[in-house]
Amino acid sequence: MAYIITRLCRDCVDTGCVAVCPVDCIYEYKGSDNATFPNQLYIHPDECIDCGACEPECPWQAIFEEVAVPVAFKDDTPLNYKMMEPSDDFVVKKHQKTEHPTSDQIAANKQKWGLTT
- Full-model pTM: 0.86
Residue 13: predicted pLDDT: 85
Q: DSSP letters of 37-60?
A: S-SSEEE-TTT------SGGG-TT
pLDDT in tens, 27-80: 999 999 999 999 999 999 999 999 999 999 999 999 999 999 999 999 999 999
Cα–Cα distance for residue pair 79/94, rounded to 1 Å: 21
Beta-ladder partners of 25: none
pLDDT in tens, 51-60: 999 999 999 9
Q: DSSP letters of 55-85?
A: GGG-TT--EEEGGG--GGGTTHHHHHHHTTT
Cα–Cα distance for residue pair 59/104, rounded to 1 Å: 12
**All domains of the chain in start order, with CATH:** 3-112 (3.30.70.20)
